[in-house]
Each structure stands twice: as C-alpha cells, then as structure tokens.
Amino acid sequence: MAEKDPEGIIATDPSDNDDRKCLIIRKLLKFNPKEVFTWQLVKTVAMGQGLAALICGTAVTSQYLASDYHVDAPMLQSFMSYTLLCLTYTTALLFRTGDGNMFPILKKRWWKYLLLGLVDVEANYTVVKAYQYTTLTSIQLLDCFVIPVLMILSCWFLKTCYRPVHYVSVCVCLLGVGAMVGADLLAGRDLGSTSDILLGDGLVLFSASLYAVSNVCQEYTVKHLSRVEFLGMVGLFGTLISGIQLGVLEHNNVANIQWDWRIGLLFAGYALCMYTLYSCMPIVVKKTSATAVNLSLLTADLLSLFCGLFLFQYTFSGLYIVSLVIILVGFVSFNAVATTPDPADPIAPSVGWEEGGYDNPDDIIKEEVVVAVLEEEKEQEEEVGEHTGVSWNQRTQNEEVPAEGRSTKM
C-alpha cells in the first residue's frame, strides 16, 4: 500500500513492485502465439485489406476520369453510389415489418439520419475539393487526423477503453504512413495544387473530422440497431443531399462530359466499388471497431501506388514495401488485444478504475495479483478436469452471469 512520508512524498510499498514484476514474468512465460495470432485475427486482416482494395478501386477509376478524360464531377460519382444504396437497402426497409420498417425509423430518428447523411456526403466532397488547393503529401498526412479524432469520440460516446498497446499500434501505423510519404517525395510524386495550401489543409482536417463522426455513428448503429437500417438511411438521405448539391454545384460540369462507353464504365466501376465498400464496411466494424477499420484503410494509398506502377508509370521505391509492412504490423498488433475487458473474466482490472471502483491505483496492482492467482487455479482445475473428463469451460459454461456484471462497452 502506498504511504506518505513526513515530507508529503508518496512512498510505494516495495512488495507491490515485486508483485508487478512477478505478474509480468508470469505473463511472458505463459505467452502463447497461437492465442494472439488466431484465425479470427487473420480474417480481420483479410477483411481490412479487402476494404483497402475497394478504396484503391475508387482511386484508380477517379484518376482515369480526371487524367485521361478530364472529368470533374465528384458529386455525380457520390450520387451514383448513394443511389445504389437507396435502391437496395432503403427498399429492403420498406418491406420490413414492425419497428424495423422505414416509416417507424423515420418517425423516431429522421433528424439524426439527416445529419448523418449530411456529414457523410460532405466528408466525401471536401476531401476531393482539397486536391484543388494543396498537395498529395499534405492530404496523405493530414488525412490520418481521422484516427485520433475517432479514438477520442469512441472513448467519449462509445465508452471504448483503449489499452497502451493500442496507442503504440496507432503510432506504428502512422510511422508507416510517414515512410510512404517520404517515398512519394523521393519519387517526385508531390502532386496536386499549391494555389491555397492553408485552405486545402483545412479542408482535409475538416473532412477527417467528419469521417470520424460518421464512423462513430456507424459503429454505434450497426452494434445497437442494424446494418440494414444504417445503410438504408444513409442511402436515402445521402441520395437526397448529394442530388441537391449535384444540381447546384456541378450541373455545368456534368453537361460538358463527352459521354462514351469508357467513361460510363469508369463511373460504373467507381459506383460499384463504393457501394461494395459501404455494404461491407459495417460488417467489419461490427466484428472489430471503426478505429481498426480506419487503420486497415491506411494501406489503400499504398495499393493505389502499386496499381499506379503499372497503370500510370509511377516510380517504384523500396520504402513502399517498408511502409506496407509497418502499417500491417501496427494493424495486427492493434487487433491482437481487445479494446475492452472481457466480461467473462473473473475480474477485469481496468473496469474498476475506469468506473471509479478504486480509491487508490495500488489496489489495481493487488487485483492483478488476484487475477494471476485465479488463472493458476483455473489451470490446476483444468488439469484435474483432464482426468475427470470435465474442463473449466464446461463447468462454467452454464453458470449465470448477473446482468450488472456484463460489460456494455463497445
């Protein structure tokens, strides 16, 4: 127990430090890679890179439209993808019964989804507009601002509890982005405009903040309500808002497009990639978190660069490979540890301190020791179970957990 000496300095009991060291040593000795690198983690990484590939598809089609056909109609591209969402998921809501039908949802939460649709549309629009004022390097760096904003919002609204390993993992991912930007500078790919860098950088930061708000709302909706409701409402209001904005801001640009089958195919490819991204992203968010998904999307720029090596004759740099490996290492380490305490654990050390259950941080150390003792008892009982044919999990599977003991954190 910590005590204060006469001078007011807090003195820590040496036994507490010994207990902590013993706990760390025990955890290191019991470390089993199979418990970390599970099949679920492999699927999470694969799904995250699948989303990054879809982002890459939207980037490649947009690059072709801008460079080869001089088409400047980002809102038309967004309108097409929102329309596909509306035709499928909003229609599905129409045929639902009860509270899951579109009309009861609109009656209860229409203004919330209106704001969500506005945030989502403007997040997509402002980041595209930023390319007219600032450089690609600035956009790649500042777009990472979405991750710290998302973590803050997740802690605030979703009550997500991040552990030190998660913050380290995020820093590792951002280090990978730094390596990617450095490779771009060495390769002479500092593309974009410099007409108003301050405005362009502000648009990127604004877009990143809007993306963070949209992703937090998405995580809450898919985990508490339903994926179809989220996509149906975003499709409905996104179509309305982007349609109005398209008519006001881009009617001249659309009228000047020299349509042919190639341009139509590129628009269709962009819309299908974005539609698939919107459809699949809630699935990955529900299994992981919005922060984890955004970390996986950091590789999208790298995938676009690899495609550009063959399609747009970009210059290759070994730093691209280094950047990809660093980002993947950070993403894997982030997902290897749960962001919230496991409600099945006998005692979750972080919960009591978070919720004010402890008056002294030294109590957490003592509780960690208790957890270690319980883990030893569990292993001993499992050894006994091998002889009796009954395991720890089987004996505890049917035990009821009090409702107040279940974690409600996302």
Q: Average pLDDT of the chain?
A: 76
In whole angstroms, give the CA distance from residue 195 to residue 132.
8
pLDDT confidence of residue 382: 52
pLDDT in tens, 229-242: 999 999 999 999 99
Average pLDDT of the segment spanning 135-139: 69
- What residues make up the domain containing 315? 38-251+259-341
pLDDT confidence of residue 381: 55
Whether residue 309 is contained in a domain is answered as yes
pLDDT confidence of residue 404: 38
Report CA torsion sign: 212, 294, 220, 150. negative
Structure tokens at 347: 């005692």
Whether residue 392 is contained in a domain is answered as no
Whether residue 49 is contained in a domain is answered as yes
Whether residue 6 is contained in a domain is answered as no
Whether residue 69 is contained in a domain is answered as yes
| Per-residue three-class SS string for the chain | CCEECCCCCEECCHHHHHHHHHHHHHHHHCCCHHHHCCHHHHHHHHHHHHHHHHHHHHHHHHHHHHHCCCCCCHHHHHHHHHHHHHHHHHHHHHCCCHHHCHHHHHHHHHHHHHHHHHHHHHHHHHHHHHCCCCEHHHHHHHHHHHHHHHHHHHHHHCCCCCCHHHHHHHHHHHHHHHHHHHHHHHCCCCCECCCCHHHHHHHHHHHHHHHHHHHHHHHHHHHHCCHHHHHHHHHHHHHHHHHHHHHHHCHHHHHCCCCCHHHHHHHHHHHHHHHHHHHHHHHHHHHCCHHHHHHHHHHHHHHHHHHHHHHCCCCCCHHHHHHHHHHHHHHHHHHHCCCCCCCCCCCCHHHHHHCCCCCCCHHHHHHHHHHHHHHHHHHHHHHHHHHHCCCHHHHHHCCCCCHHHCCCCC
Whether residue 78 is predicted with pLDDT greater than 70 in this model: the reply is yes
Whether residue 212 is contained in a domain is answered as yes
In whole angstroms, give the CA distance from residue 74 to residue 131.
12
The answer to which of 133-142, 163-172, 314-323 has the lowest mean pLDDT is 133-142
pLDDT in tens, 165-211: 888 888 988 888 888 777 767 766 655 555 667 887 888 889 889 99
pLDDT confidence of residue 401: 40
Strand partners, 4: 10
pLDDT in tens, 355-382: 333 344 444 444 444 445 555 555 555 5
Average pLDDT of the segment spanning 80-97: 94
Percent of the chain with pLDDT over 70: 70
Whether residue 82 is predicted with pLDDT greater than 90 in this model: the reply is yes
Whether residue 51 is contained in a domain is answered as yes
Whether residue 135 is contained in a domain is answered as yes
Average pLDDT of the segment spanning 238-256: 92
Higher pLDDT among residues 381 and 400, named by residue: 381
Give the number of domains in the chain. 1
> How many C-beta neighbours within 10 Å does residue 359 have?
7
